[in-house]
Structure 1
Amino acid sequence: MPMSVIVSNLLVVVAAAFAVGIWWAGLCAVYLPLLYCLGLIAAGAVFCFARRRDEAGWLVFALVALFFFAGAIRYLQAVSIPSSDVSLFAGQDVILSGQVVEKQELTANGEETKFRYIVEAWGLTKPDNEKKSAIPVTGKVSLSVSANKVPAAIDCGDRISAAGTIVELHGYNNPGAINTVAALQREGIRARLLPAGPLRLIELSGGGISWQAWRDNWRRQVVVAMEKVMPAPEAAILSGMIFGGYRGISREVITDFQTTGLIHILSVSGTHVALVGVAMLWLGRRFKLRPGLIAVITAIAVTGYAVIAGLTAPVLRSLIMGLTGLAAVVWQREKDVAAAFGLSLLLMLALQPELIYDISFQLSFACTAGLILFYAKTVHLLQRLPKRLAQVVAATFAVQLAALPLTAWYFSNYSLSSFTANFIVVPMVEGIVIAGLVGVLLVSWAPALAGLVFAGCSLCLGAVLQATAWLAALPAASIYFPPLDGAVCVVYYLLLFWLYGYFPQPVMLPLEIWRRWPGRVQVFSIVAALVWAACLVYPRPVIIHFIDVGQGDAAVITTPHGRAVMVDTGGSMGSTSFDLGEQVVYPYLRHYGITELDYLFLTHGHQDHAGGAAAILNHIPVKCVLMAREAEYTQAEKAVLYHRNRQAVIPQYQGQQIELDGVTFTVVYAPAGSRSASEGNETSTVIRVAFGDQSILFTGDLEAPGEAEILAEKLPIKSNLLKVGHHGSRTSSTAAFLQAVAPQVAVISVGYHNSFGHPHAETLARLAAGKTRVYRTDRSGAVRVVTDGQTMTVNPYLYDE
């Protein structure tokens, strides 16, 4: 075997070993000094075997061990928190000083304008001791503040100070959800600051303006130039295609791009960097420039594009991969693309090992690996098709095969329309991006010509949007695909490598097995199908999911035969720009394969209980919605009543009972509303779910007067598990009520560091007095309760220490 091939394969192997070492260190509690010892032993083995030419196999094994331990050590070093980290001051009131490194304007639906700042923290002092020297700190802090609390035009590069409370980063902790806290930490953001007053400008940026501020101002000028010749929504889309980001893009457009598998177009990725690189290579060869000069110009172009795109982590990854690929092309080593892939992987993980948990990183490398491993062989299989069609289908198929477990885990779908979209829409988009970049370069030098270019982009973009909407509306454009667990993923990739012939020669290919034993293959297939069918119809336990929706309530119950019922849907309390039902609850349901609801109970109409219902109706068929009888419907309830997908909507009455697969849902308490919608807590219905000897009581936001009425009427509320009323407020869960329910377990659905002080210490004390085990979604994340009718097991997503 040629030495170049050995080195190429070795780079891939050691990069994979480094990645596995990082993954292992993230899963296990590892003693760092022990890793150093093992790493030294592996390094010694490499030195010994490298001197013996007849021990090549052992040398490879030693290198794999060395890079495995090196990956584990690098990860533990990266995640260690320095003693100066700003997050160590969480829970304390401070005056923070630092430099603004990022600024974003937050405005939605006519609401009050807010600014979000990312501040590189330098020091902090205590509010009662400002004269004392500041404590040096490191790390970035995120803070959001109303526009009226920004006394000057604070911009990137400016030094500011702000008084407030440092709080830890926190997200929605649900299975299958993207870890937003880890994503922020990878960007260096370590904590949040809750401002207690206006920001104070200490010093303008040195030299008048920072490069980030210059870049942001220049981007705004470009967008203004776009909006002069094209509608603002299309300008937002073109800006997203060139610079990345979804700001100003309608939810419908984003959904269409997701359905057709083109959502990566709206965020700067390897596709964009490769497009710029290919365009520059083509121009250089067109003008017959020397290869070295072409390489330099192309490298400058892709680096410049990465800078104006923001040099975010995904852009930086794309740049490293692009420059590595460019080097392979310039040195005419295209056959060593696998080595370039391995080298890029090794470099990026060495710089930032936490990237291994980043969704865009995982998808980028899975897609690249798919193209390297499966593209050429798939083209060969499709050789009877026209060349261009075979290439597009093979590229799409190779990418989707490699990334399928990831897309199933994070998105729970498979885009069938992506094949057509890649053939029809992608070439148009590539032309729009290149033309848009030309227009961007002309904005400062020839604004009139830039306007003509943008106008042409607008015409083409209209056709792209129409084609994307049409493809997304096709039947089965995107189908549900269940998430795969770790063992199934391993089997899937082993099977994939087997089908593509990457196993050693003694292992037969599927076609050879079929030719040799056709009868046995048929019998095995029939038996496997029968076993699969039996698993699908075999009764499962009842599972109650308490979803982490922050300061709100949302729960879903699945029956032994897979039917589903929801009790409340959560909803954002403040800004309407974040649809919690769309972005938290619906993905949770998809992750667990819930594609239809038999019943949806809304205990009352407050936003934090019913605000996500409309989004659920947008995506999931709901056979019947049961609503509380309130004096006046809230905005959230009206959205359900007038929804285009609404089916049956009926009021809840005391004594209503529904039975599904042996699970009984009883409306224990349903008062008629006599107060205004703003006082709707007292109209909260109480729902009891029973299966065998086990029962769960949902109390919505019921407060003490309602609890007293239930006790006076001696209604059947005794239950094994209590969903604590009103997020654990002091005015709910009275001692008498808890004594009547007598729960062994209680779940409190509550937002992290909420402004209401929930759950209240008195409520927690009353629960503790009854020896009730308490789980809180702000600490445990989503809580899954599994029961077979005799026993009950509680599985929190996070274990509260």
Structure 2
Amino acid sequence: MRHRPLVGIVLSFVIGISVNYFFYIPFLFVFPAILVTTIVYSCLFILHSRKSNARPAGPFASPTAFWQGRVVGQTKGCVLTLLILTFLTGISYHNLRFSFRATDNISSFVSNEKIPVRLRGVVVSNPIVKYMPGTHLSSLKQRKKVTTFLLQTEAIESRNWKNITGVIKINIYPTKEESASTSNNNYHPFKLKYGNKIKLIGNISKPSTSRNPGQFDYKKYLQRQRPRIEAVASVVSINNIKFLSEGHGNYFLTFVYSTKKKLNNIIDRYVKKRSIPLVSSILLGDREKVPVELIDSFMQTGTIHFLAISGLHVGILVVSLHYFLRLLRFNMKTLAIIIILITFLYAAITGLKTPIIRASIMVATYYGAFIVNRRWDLSNSIVAAVFIILLINPSDLFNVGFQLSVLAVLGIVYISNQIESKVISGNQPSWWRNCKRKKKGTRYGFYLKYIVEKHFVSL
């Protein structure tokens, strides 16, 4: 706590989130405890500050053992109270983000059974064209196209239009005629895009929940997303969607999606047609463009992770930018600002996946140290990344992708040095030993999570 106080703070915050996840604690029970702890911490902090400033100065400045004991005791009291406060904050924060809903939320108007509704709202994600399995899962001919996106609901029609809130997932299923009249890659209902206000007719219901122990819970999965998804609506035929207006989205996200579209146009222009889906997936995270046959091949060979955007992509981008800007004679502070801005822009373009956010925050802390003339600390950088990710979405703590991403980094940082002398022969070149050491450290981090989840290790 003395040298890395953020580690203890984030750990207590994580424990608080976990406690609320496994043992639901209402916010009304936690809030009085937070209030009391805040008052106690404030009093201890003020008292400690006054005692520290009241130390005798001059040749008799050496404190007595009694004085030292009081100061140390107050310091420990401040630290303990701060950790308790952070723990309670983690409980309440996860409760508010995961369990709290407004009275006019869309979840209050839907049930587990599909019901026909009319909705009005704003598109808050870029529409994606996917292939959904039909009656025969193994037959590619039975797979049909579906356009999926998120809708920020504004109103629902019963007898009259009633204002509502909440985000739902929309699946648009084209008819056979609509599918036949469009190509596989260019199908898009009237060029639907982020920020469009639309009106639609469809069937809406709550997401399905797990019926057996250990079964995948689709409802919880959607509720853990950012933003939280309350319901799923199916729309048959694009004729059941009416375009109202555009330009209702966030300006930054509008810029991000337009930039991504321009990058995709560049890829379409200069890359061979057969390689476009693979290049778009590796560079921009558009995995939906990859043909299902190719995805199946990657899965069978165990290399599907090559299609996933990860910290490796951020590392390649940052190293390339660093040396390019150094060749242009940029000073270190200007270089750091440019790299931080471009890194976060790339994270937004690729969909703000958890591994990308983690890597981007670590890059920001590293180059931010040059801006403020401070020393960079790797442990604080990792902990800061975890803390910011959980502030954005506390439910990411229970996301396997987040857990594996953090464990992989911890394995490289803290395990690789210990295993170098024990596992790797000293006769090999130093660069080869370093590569193998980092690879083994990452693998051990993955194995730890894998053993906990699956209770066995694949050979």
Normalising by structure 2, report the TM-score: 0.77
The aligned length equals 401
CA RMSD of aligned residues (A): 3.2
Which structure is richer in relative contact order (CA contacts within 8 A, separation 6 or more)?
2
Distance 1:391 1:41, change over 3 A: farther
Q: Return the alpha-carbon distance in structure 1 between the equivalents of residues 373 and 412 of structure 2.
A: 19
Q: Which residue of 1 aligns with 2:243?
A: 202
Aligned residue among 398, 407, 410 for 1:369: 410
Aligned residue among 10, 13, 32 for 1:15: 10
Kindly indicate which of the two structures has a greater share of residues assigned to helix: 2
Q: Which residue of 1 aligns with 2:156?
A: 124
Q: Which residue of 1 aligns with 2:84?
A: 65
Q: Return the alpha-carbon distance in structure 2 between the equivalents of residues 237 and 196 of structure 1.
A: 30
> What code does the residue aligned with 2:20 have?
A
Superposition pairs of residues 206-605 of structure 1, within 5 angstroms? 206=247, 210-211=254-255, 214-215=258-259, 217-225=261-269, 227=271, 229=272, 232=274, 234-247=275-288, 248-249=290-291, 250-255=294-299, 259=302, 263-312=304-353, 314-328=355-369, 336-379=377-420, 381=422, 382=424, 384=426, 385-408=428-451, 479-480=458-459
Q: Which residue of 2 aligns with 1:153?
A: 191
Q: Return the alpha-carbon distance in structure 2 between the equivalents of residues 383 and 44 of structure 1.
A: 58
Q: Does 1:104 align with 2:128?
A: yes
Distance 1:235 1:151, change over 3 A: closer
How far residue 294 of structure 1 moved from its aligned partner, in angstroms, is: 0.9
How far residue 323 of structure 1 moved from its aligned partner, in angstroms, is: 1.7
How far residue 160 of structure 1 moved from its aligned partner, in angstroms, is: 1.5
More divergent stretch after superposition (405-414 vs 58-67) = 405-414
Is the Cα contact below 8 Å between 1:226 and 1:235 reproduced in 2? no
> What code does the residue aligned with 1:361 have?
F
1:372-414 per-residue CA deviation (whole Å, 9 max, x = no partner) reads: 3223333455472421122112212222222323234557775
SS of the aligned residue for 1:6 comes to: coil
SS of the aligned residue for 1:33 comes to: helix
Aligned residue among 37, 44, 51 for 1:42: 37
Distance 1:72 1:308, change over 3 A: same
How far residue 367 of structure 1 moved from its aligned partner, in angstroms, is: 1.8
Q: Return the alpha-carbon distance in structure 1 between the equivalents of residues 43 and 425 of structure 2.
A: 49
Q: Which residue of 1 aligns with 2:226?
A: 187
Aligned residue among 168, 171, 182 for 1:140: 168
Aligned residue among 107, 114, 124 for 1:87: 107
Is the Cα contact below 8 Å between 1:87 and 1:166 reproduced in 2? no
Distance 1:161 1:169, change over 3 A: same
Q: Which residue of 1 aligns with 2:137?
A: none
How far residue 350 of structure 1 moved from its aligned partner, in angstroms, is: 2.2
Distance 1:30 1:373, change over 3 A: same
1:402-431 per-residue CA deviation (whole Å, 9 max, x = no partner) reads: 2323234557775xxxxxxxxxxxxxxxxx
Is the Cα contact below 8 Å between 2:347 and 2:356 reproduced in 1? yes
Q: Which residue of 1 aligns with 2:2?
A: 6
1:298-349 per-residue CA deviation (whole Å, 9 max, x = no partner) reads: 1122122223223355544443333223324655766511112222222221
SS of the aligned residue for 1:78 comes to: helix
SS of the aligned residue for 1:166 comes to: strand
SS of the aligned residue for 1:221 comes to: helix
More divergent stretch after superposition (110-119 vs 176-185) = 176-185
Distance 1:319 1:83, change over 3 A: farther
Distance 1:332 1:387, change over 3 A: farther
Distance 1:62 1:246, change over 3 A: same
SS of the aligned residue for 1:29 comes to: coil
Normalising by structure 1, report the TM-score: 0.46
SS of the aligned residue for 1:152 comes to: helix
> What code does the residue aligned with 1:6 have?
R
Distance 1:256 1:244, change over 3 A: farther
Distance 1:294 1:359, change over 3 A: same
Distance 1:63 1:174, change over 3 A: same
Q: Return the alpha-carbon distance in structure 2 between the equivalents of residues 334 and 272 of structure 1.
A: 25
Q: Return the alpha-carbon distance in structure 1 between the equivalents of residues 444 and 335 of structure 2.
A: 35
How far residue 23 of structure 1 moved from its aligned partner, in angstroms, is: 0.4
Q: Return the alpha-carbon distance in structure 2 between the equivalents of residues 159 and 348 of structure 1.
A: 30
Is the Cα contact below 8 Å between 1:151 and 1:199 reproduced in 2? no
How far residue 81 of structure 1 moved from its aligned partner, in angstroms, is: 1.8
Q: Which residue of 2 aligns with 1:74?
A: 93
Is the Cα contact below 8 Å between 1:375 and 1:398 reproduced in 2? yes
Q: Return the alpha-carbon distance in structure 2 between the equivalents of residues 222 and 64 of structure 1.
A: 51
Q: Which residue of 2 aligns with 1:162?
A: 200
How far residue 67 of structure 1 moved from its aligned partner, in angstroms, is: 1.0
More divergent stretch after superposition (179-188 vs 266-275) = 179-188
SS of the aligned residue for 2:258 comes to: helix
How far residue 49 of structure 1 moved from its aligned partner, in angstroms, is: 4.3
Distance 1:398 1:331, change over 3 A: farther
Q: Return the alpha-carbon distance in structure 2 between the equivalents of residues 301 and 335 of structure 1.
A: 20
How far residue 46 of structure 1 moved from its aligned partner, in angstroms, is: 3.0
Q: Return the alpha-carbon distance in structure 1 between the equivalents of residues 416 and 376 of structure 2.
A: 14
* Uncovered stretches (5+) of structure 1, i.e. residues with no partner: 415-478, 481-801
> What code does the residue aligned with 1:137 have?
T
> What code does the residue aligned with 2:230 have?
R
> What code does the residue aligned with 2:226 have?
E
Q: Return the alpha-carbon distance in structure 2 between the equivalents of residues 167 and 375 of structure 1.
A: 49
Q: Return the alpha-carbon distance in structure 1 between the equivalents of residues 22 and 410 of structure 2.
A: 24
Is the Cα contact below 8 Å between 1:12 and 1:341 reproduced in 2? no
Q: What percentage of aligned pairs have identical amino acids?
A: 17
Q: Return the alpha-carbon distance in structure 1 between the equivalents of residues 363 and 82 of structure 2.
A: 27
> What code does the residue aligned with 1:255 have?
M
How far residue 175 of structure 1 moved from its aligned partner, in angstroms, is: 5.7
Is the Cα contact below 8 Å between 1:125 and 1:133 reproduced in 2? yes
Q: Return the alpha-carbon distance in structure 1 between the equivalents of residues 170 and 189 of structure 2.
A: 18
1:227-283 per-residue CA deviation (whole Å, 9 max, x = no partner) reads: 4x3x62x432222111124331513442266x3xx6443222222223212222222
Is the Cα contact below 8 Å between 1:280 and 1:298 reproduced in 2? yes
Distance 1:353 1:207, change over 3 A: closer
Instruction: Name which one, 1 or 2, has greater alpha-carbon Rg.
Output: 1
* Uncovered stretches (5+) of structure 2, i.e. residues with no partner: 49-69, 133-139, 180-187
Q: Does 1:53 align with 2:92?
A: no
> What code does the residue aligned with 1:83 have?
T
How far residue 26 of structure 1 moved from its aligned partner, in angstroms, is: 0.6
Q: Return the alpha-carbon distance in structure 2 between the equivalents of residues 53 and 201 of structure 1.
A: 69
> What code does the residue aligned with 1:21 have?
G
Q: Return the alpha-carbon distance in structure 2 between the equivalents of residues 397 and 177 of structure 1.
A: 32
Q: Return the alpha-carbon distance in structure 2 between the equivalents of residues 245 and 349 of structure 1.
A: 25
